[in-house]
Structure 1
Amino acid sequence: MNLHQLSLFAQVVKEGGFTAAAQVLKLPKSAVSAGVARLEADLGVKLLRRNNRHVSLTDEGAALYAHAAPALEALRESEAAVTEMRGALKGRIRITAPVGLGMQVLQPVVSRFLAQHPDTNVEAVFTMRVVDLVGEGFDLALRGGPLEDEDLIARQIGVGDASLFAAPSYLAQQGMPLSVADLAGRDFVLLKGCLHKHDEIYLTE
């Protein structure tokens, strides 16, 4: 069954005739009539009794309209709802970020976002653990480093610096490194979590 032809039929019944339906739909009357005729041919039954003044439903047409009209209205409401959602941001957005980055960078951005889009609700989770973005239902994540999951989409929004720190006692014992090569074989403590999943670091000059 052709949905377009079904909607033409329903509009003819609603308006009480082909002329009125064509005016509402902004289509030629011949196009509306041809669409209904094709629907009748596909179903193998007459749906409407036609005369010069008005149309009336056959028993088959009445049965079809009784079932089709609510369904078509539901489709129109669904389309309107989706269109409205597309035009304005609504609903919940779940975001995760490392603790420091989240508190310093994301929190003020979220505050401005909520002021601009009051129908949204942002749930921000600041954590250093490795998060399963898909499994835990996150829409967005702030991360540093290369993308490790090819199923996700990444966009670079900034550049951050990373630093190495050493205690004076460590430097007194091991000596001050003067180049990247001097760091080879040195002991280090690596903060692991959502930004660092590996046991190695890679440095270049």
Structure 2
Amino acid sequence: MNKLKAMAIFVKIVDVGSLNGAADKLSMSQSSVVRALAALENELGVQLLYRTTRRLTLTEEGRDYCQRCRQILLEVEDAENALTQRQITPSGKIRITAPITFGRLHLAPIVNEFLTTFPDTDVELLLLDRIVDLIEEGMDIALRIGPLPDSTLVAKLIGNVHYKVCASPDYLQKAGIPNTPTALRTHQCIRLTALKSHAEWTFKETGKIHKIGISGRFKTNHIETALDACIQGLGFCQFLSYQVGQKIAEGKLVPVLEAFQPNPVPVNLVYSHSRLLSSRSRHFIEWATPRLKARLRLSDSEFI
């Protein structure tokens, strides 16, 4: 048995989620894929996948072995790339995840440019407003906004964004402009329930961070919906600068309490310590970093 080939087949089965799909991707017969998987399990003496008529599920041993297979296969690929100079022109698939709004506004245009510049690459961009487990969900790179408590991640800082409390000009004309964060307690505030602290907003006053409890008639888990409600005059809402910058520039929203902004929020490209970074993923990070930094600097100069 060719162990490296069997490992590659196993990883492809996991990535695609089916034996037939893996066979199609590898231009092999399904019977050959089944035999390779069976031979690998027999060699290892463990079951790697639970197989039913409807789905494949990794066993605990299979999950650990798949992670190690990815590392080994990437090391082999990098070794070959180093010999053939292929790392100069990246090729292959990169899986990236990012928050929805930031990904759509800033990361997607850079991914599109990367694909145009390097036609041998494929990118899958997964936009979700939740923390994605890079290993569990098979992602190569994540863009994270906020502190990184997970010590298993390697991070490359690309910039910062800022909190902005905003309201529509109509709402401000009707209800007045608050002079201090505590004044928000008497105003209608739109709550973003996707945030753990949606009933409190953070501010910085005389060098100290403090939280203000807010309330209002409307709450939502969706950024765009909160933006629409804010523009329509339903009250104040606290956004991150990249989410609201264009609306401020267009005059649809007005920032308030600028003197009480809390500390900036870091934006990082990250990957896992426990998953070897491929040369194509490394190339993307190095290529995308200055472009993302430039977009964030432009956003700061225009809207902050």
Q: Which has the larger radius of gyration?
A: 1
Where relative contact order (Cα < 8 A, 6+ residues apart) is larger, the structure is 2
Provide the TM-score with structure 1 as the length reference: 0.48
TM-score normalised according to structure 2 size: 0.34
Give 1 or 2: higher strand fraction: 2
